[in-house]
Amino acid sequence: MNLNFIRRIVFTGVLSLFCNLYYSNAQGCVAIRGFSSCSGSLGTEGYLSSGEFLVGSNNRYFESFRHFRGTEQEENRIEEGTNVINDSYFFDLTLNYGVTDRLYANLLIPFVSHVRSSMYEHGGNSYGDRHTTRAAGLADLRIGGGYWLIDHGTKPFNFAFGAGIKLPTGDYSHTDTFYNQGQDKDTEVEAVVDQSIQPGDGGLGFNLDFQGYYTLSHNFMLTTSLYYLINPEETNGVLTRRGTSEFSVPDQYAAQIGTTFFPMVKGLAFYLGGLLEGVPASDFIGGSAGYRRPGYAISVDPGVNYTVNNLSLRLNVPFAVERNRIQSYEDKIRTIETGEFRQGDAAFADYLINFSLTYRITKHKTKKFDTDIQVLN
């Protein structure tokens, strides 16, 4: 198997994972902003030789509309037409650079566009008048790097650790028009939009990531990736539309494990794996107060990759098999204060469409590798 091809497969696979997690919002109202961190995604550029660049783009789309409280779906929301619908589009520009054959650096410039449709924000569900709010623009930039532990081509496996910084460049206090406001529901009000469609979260964050692969044979390879975004800031100072609390700046996490299959077709590979992405109720560092919708989604993640020369294309369509809106920090506090169990709901998507394109810029002509990675030991 061509080692150059394997390098691209592993890179685009992990890039796809981290970019999926980046602003995937756990496929819904659970506000994940970045696996909000593709800096890890870029970590695979460790597969770049010294002086090489990898430029790319990643496009994602999902529609969240199924409401969950815990793991139970509130089917009546769809039947009654009161469910919230988020249509979310993401476009990322990525730049990766091989500092050495094992050390890499990366930059991710994300853009988002959201359209949110609801009744409860525009007079209440009982009023029955559905309207939309929108938010679009630059999201939170990611800068990072990482290091592969083993020289490439010497073992049938390798692992890399990475770290990065999330800069609060995205708008986290975007406003739009809300209808049917006031006691007589005859007023239009300009107010802050929901947290799930804000382009940024308003906090300076730090991410840690891990990625690795193990070649089983000529045709099969195992891959895994882990990611955690630490947001030390508790809240971002922006009050929710109702003014009851400030937006929280939550941590985020994601994990992926899967198998890549290389058929006897040059440049083609298929992937099947599992994907976990979520927002915790309590942060690793700093406080956890403020408004957030914590939870997670577990998905089956099939994909296909095609590589020709220095160009790689990848399509993944993870579909959710479990969605869980867990108790938030505020839910737990109110449960203690009132003695009555509280747990909010959140809307999730059924699936996510992710398409990525990467192009390798080399200083010299690409070298051909005839060694099969299976026999490297």
For the chain, helix, strand, coil in percent to 5 are 15, 50, 35
Q: Which of 43, 1, 29 is nearest to 256 (CA)?
A: 43
Burial of 169 (0-12, 13-18, 19+ CB in 10 A): middle
What would the pLDDT profile of 281-323 be if each residue is shown by its tens digit? 999 999 999 999 999 999 999 999 999 999 999 999 999 999 9
168 close to 140: Cβ distance less than 8 angstroms: yes
What would the pLDDT profile of 126-185 be if each residue is shown by its tens digit? 999 999 999 999 999 999 999 999 998 899 999 999 999 999 999 999 999 999 999 999
Domains belonging to the chain, first-starting first, are 3-364 (2.40.128.130)
Chunked into runs of 10 residues, the chain (377 residues) has average pLDDT values of 54 51 53 42 55 95 97 97 97 96 96 98 95 98 96 92 98 98 94 97 97 95 97 97 94 96 95 97 95 97 96 97 97 95 96 96 58 35
Three-state DSSP class for residue 375:
helix
For residue 309, what are its two tokens? 């020369």
* Residue recorded with tokens 């949110």: 116
Q: What's residue 3's pLDDT?
A: 53
211 close to 222: Cβ distance less than 8 angstroms: no
Note if the pTM is more than 0.85: yes
In angstroms, how far is the first alpha carbon of the chain from the final one? 15
For CA atoms 139, 140, 141, 144, give the dihedral sign.
Answer: negative
